[in-house]
Amino acid sequence: MLKALCCVERFLQVGPRLTKDRERFPPNNVLLMLAGAGLLWMGWAGFNGGDPYSANIDSSIAVINTNICAATSLLMWTSLDVLVFGKPSVIGAVQGMITGLVVITPAAGKGSFAAEFLSCLKKKTLCSRTNNTPEC
């Protein structure tokens, strides 16, 4: 409890981010971001595939559903970037990939491929529409 109060005190001392810092926040290294995203995708597929604790059909379905959902979300986010901003973005593609991995994790080993594909499209559209605003 004391640590939580110390954190709150520190947050109040630091304060909110300045408006000039919110206006433009370019990435430091896009190549390292892509490498990290690839490692994250590979590790996440292993995490979802290893959930049944054995190499069986459930783990295979989990890995396939994980890859399908991440790829669907990546493509959906990129297409919405093109529609909203007029050009695709690598950062947007990585955001979409990570969102797809998060969306599929609770139900990776359940359901069919088509149901997972449609679920990711629906959730991706909602998530992208709430996050992709010119003010971001």
Q: Do 65 and 108 contact (CB within 8 A), yes or no?
A: yes
Structural domains of the chain, count: 1
pLDDT tens-digit readout, 81-136: 999 999 998 988 999 999 888 888 877 777 665 665 666 665 555 555 555 444 33
38 sits in which H/E element:
helix 30-49
pLDDT of residue 114: 61
Task: Say which residue, 25 or 61, is predicted with more confidence.
Answer: 61
Q: Does residue 36 lie within any of the structural domains? A: no
Q: Does residue 27 lie within any of the structural domains? A: no
Domain span including residue 82: 50-126
Task: Say which residue, 71 or 105, is predicted with more confidence.
Answer: 71
Kindly report the average pLDDT of the chain as a whole number. 79
> Whose structure tokens read 């990711």?
120
pLDDT of residue 78: 93
Q: Is 99 helix (H, G, I), strand (E, B) or coil?
A: helix
pTM: 0.66
Q: Does residue 65 lie within any of the structural domains? A: yes
Q: Does residue 26 lie within any of the structural domains? A: no
**For the chain, what percent of residues have pLDDT higher than 90?**
26
